[in-house]
Amino acid sequence: MSKLNNREILKKRRNNRSHYGQFLLLLCLGVFLCMVLRFTYVSVFKTVRGVNLTQMAQSLYTKSNVISAKRGTIYDANGQPLAEDTNVYTMYAILNKKQVGLDNEPLYITNKEKAAKAISSVLPITYKEALNDLNPSTNAFQVEFGNAGTNISLTQKQKLDSYHISGLNFLQQPSRLYPNGVFASHLIGYASAQSDPKTSKVSLTGQMGIEKVYNELLTGKDGYKTSQTDNSGVQIETGKTVDKPAKNGDDVYTTLDYRLQSLMETEMTNVYNEVHPKSMNAVLMNAKTGDILAATQRPTFNATTKQGLDKIWRNTLIQDAYEPGSTMKIFTVASSINSGHYNGNATYHSGKYLINGRVVPDWNPSGWGNITYNKGFALSSNVAMAHLEQMMGAKTWREYMNRFKFFTPSNLGFPGEETGSVQFTYPIEQANTAFGQGILVNAMQMMRALSSIANDGTMVQPRIVSKIVDPKTKKVIKSYPRKVVGHPITASTAKQVIQHMEDVVYKSYGIGGAYKIPGYKIAAKTGTAQVSDGKAGYESGDDSYLYSVAGIAPADHPKYILYITMKQPTLKGTKTASQLMAEIFNPVMRLALEENKNAENKNNLKVPNVVDKSTSIARKELSSAGLKYIFTGNGDKVLDQSIDANEKVSSNRLVIVQTNGSKSMADLKGWSRYDVATYCRMTGISADLQGDGYAYKQSIKSGVAINGATKVTIKFK
């Protein structure tokens, strides 16, 4: 019985083992089958938990580099760069002594005194300040050097690298170079490095002016380059590479003339520093095309350093509206002539004029007795203009203001334009507008209206950008041609108005004699307007005026318009406002007229390119071209030349050549203001230019050593 039981127990155990084995076999087969199915799924669909394994593998063994697009360059009308890409650096110093490289080479500052001495010799920071930065009160890992350690140029970095200071490091970032410093700064604007919050990529973005308005075109599109690598990151030669080239930003060509703009900036600075007006504007325009050849304002700023930007952000050429004063009389007379109400030989009683019990005064309260309207214009008589407005009638005068497109945008493309307004309800207000009070305009509206006077009655649109060019193909993507925007007056009227403006300059009683330029016929009209106090009244005091001049030349065949305003200068009694503005007007207009004459001369000489050549070769090439020239510096290599290569100039034009080496003062006697200003700019010295014409006296004798700290006074006659 017991044996039977034992047999059954053994049989049961065998069955259990068999069942257990079968279960394990089925379990293993099930697991294996699941694994096969899983691997099959993965191999077919290449996805695990929503992750694409192919893409993941490619990302592990694929190296991708972004190819940054170059921002487009902004040029003047002749291809001179006004804004272009560069790199700047931010410097920092590592102080942690645990930072070592291969062979325990120190990667930290080992000699703080030596480092401070090197830093202070290159950057705008004193030795003591640099040493203090290198010895912080806390146990800092690394230190920076404030503003002095930012925006470091490549040249400065290379100088610091030459000292071989361990632990001194630099971070590179894109920047924008404005090689001319203060140069139509509010028109060109500036671009600064901005970080994308999503990608942390740093790129240049326009913040003002052309840089902002044309930012999308200037920016371009980044490219990339990908390649396959092995486990150690080394590129596999047989690996696939994918390239997408960067699309560089388009180039913007302005209408500015580098030489005219440079001279205007110099002359504006001289006058601004002398009488410190609250603001100044100057615009030179080609009357036939509307091209703005030079334009600037004060206060202004240096686009590279941003110095002065905190003083004024506005582009006052379009964002400031003001009462123009007597320059508005140009349009009053034009409207009166064109509407058939003008009789220049008729007389009126000057001094004052009553309109509904309100007085219109002349700037000379006692007047000049009974005089003709022709003489009244030359004397800038308010009473004459009030009479003309009354004879035309308010409706006609208002219609002509609209014809001249006052109160409508100048359409230069810049944001925030002040389009102006007019007080025109009562008869006295209507009369006031005839001599430029109670009416608000901006400088570019004045330029547009003046173009009709200088262009036989045809009014053209001012423009600052001429074309957009693809930097690779050099093809013009978009052009901005001359645009006619109206015909407010006839050609006959325009000619008569210019004749009256000539009387302002050349008649014995005219008040614009300061604007005579020998060899050329000038038509001009001066202006003096009271400055509003912002409370429906006017400021009081000797310095509470906005002075202006509008000039057209040559008067017999008009081509250029130059308009200058100067608001509330501190006049010292030694010079009148007209004399001060003439110090800007005369040199700039003369240079424009001379350039125009030279351009028409078929016997002009071609200027060779001597930059980067030896001084001996440069002298031979300039002499062979028949050009007058002078070298600054005693070096053996040419760094720059004052006139662009391949430009054609007259034989009396002076080519100033800058070389390396030390510099000494040239004999400037007989030089024009433009050549003197160019010489001073190229040598880096400060100049006080006094008078007009040609240099006859200088405060530093020729041959004396000069440097960036030198200041010289040059007198002209």
Contact between residue 289 and residue 176 where contact means Cβ atoms under 8 Å apart = no
Cα separation of 500 and 588, whole Å? 23
Tokens of 262: 């440079």
**Plot region of 457 (φ>0 → left; ψ -120 to 50 → alpha; else → beta):** left
Tokens of 611: 């930059």
CA dihedral 439, 445, 447, 450 (to 10 degrees): -60
Contact between residue 662 and residue 639 where contact means Cβ atoms under 8 Å apart = no
Q: How far is CA 47 from CA 32, 39, 41, 228, in A?
A: 20, 11, 8, 21
- DSSP for 602-664, please give it: TTPEEPP--TTSBHHHHHHHHHHTT-EEEEESS-SBEEEESS-TT-EE-TTPEEEEEESS-EE
Cα separation of 274 and 166, whole Å? 49
**Per the residue annotation, which of 326, 335, 381, 466 is the catalytic one?**
326
Q: Is 181 helix (H, G, I), strand (E, B) or coil?
A: coil
Residues 6+ apart with CB under 8 A from 187: 209, 210, 254, 256, 292, 295, 315, 317, 414, 464
Tokens of 325: 């004063």
- In the annotation, is 326 catalytic? yes
Cα separation of 163 and 524, whole Å? 60
> What pairing do the DSSP bridges indicate for beta strands 628-632 and 654-659?
parallel
Number of H helices, E strands in the chain: 20, 37
Degrees to nearest 5, angle at CA 551 with 549 and 553: 165
Cα separation of 402 and 380, whole Å? 23
- Catalytic residue list: 326
